[in-house]
Amino acid sequence: MIRPDLCLDFANTRYYRGQATPTETLNAPADLAAWTKAAKAPSTKEFETALALRETIYRLFDAHAQGKAAAPRDLETLNHALARAPARTALKRGRDGYSWDVDARSGTALALLAPALWSAADLLAGPRLDRVRRCANPECGWLFLDDSRAGKRRWCSMSACGNRAKARRHYHKSKEDA
């Protein structure tokens, strides 16, 4: 099964994007192999293509989350990748249920990322696009799908950014009170 927000997970492999030095979790081709559960690491060139695609995906969703129009070039890049990615033609059944059968043997960025690309397309064109949010902590920039009933989730997680913001508010408030 492809999680609907797999594309956001991929975009979040680089986080704290608002800080001077964001946290990068994909530092080498082997990291991408691990993330995509590929048998072997892609070439450096394919790795760089994958990182560029990740940034495209991030920008597309970030723009929407901020109520801005996405750059036409980013949509073009995604469309180009979708057109050249392995075809989404066959399902397979495994222990956890059904999934798309992807031929990733070529080891190209597009083969490794096919499920992430499809999830990006489905999320962009689907009914939950308006539930894509960017964490309200400007230093964080984490993208997430807001599954709360009211649709008012603001933080990537309360334990990380939410509590920090609450602590900051509390700090400011007690300073004002003093």
> Based on CB atoms, which residue is closest to Zn ion, 7 or 143?
143
Q: For the chain, how big is the Rg over CA atoms in Å?
A: 18
d(CA 86, CA 104): 8
Residue 107: CB partners within 8 Å, gap ≥ 6?
Answer: 38, 40, 42, 43, 46
Closest CA to 168 of 138, 126, 132, 123: 138
Structure tokens at 103: 């031929």
36 in contact with Zn ion (CB under 5 A):
no
Q: How far is the CB of 131 from Zn ion (least distance, A)?
A: 16
8 counts as binding Zn ion under rule CB under 5 A: no
**Size of site (CB under 5 A) for Zn ion:** 6
By C-beta, is 138 or 151 nearer to Zn ion?
138
Does residue 137 interact with Zn ion by CB under 5 A? yes
Residue 73 or 170 with smaller CB distance to Zn ion:
170
Residue with Cβ nearer Zn ion (80 or 166): 166
Quick one: tokens of 3? 């999680």
Residue 161 interacts with Zn ion (CB under 5 A)? yes
Structure-block tokens of residue 119: 């999830």
- Residue 142 touches Zn ion, criterion: CB under 5 A: yes
Residues at the site binding Zn ion, with contacts judged by CB under 5 A:
135, 137, 140, 142, 156, 161
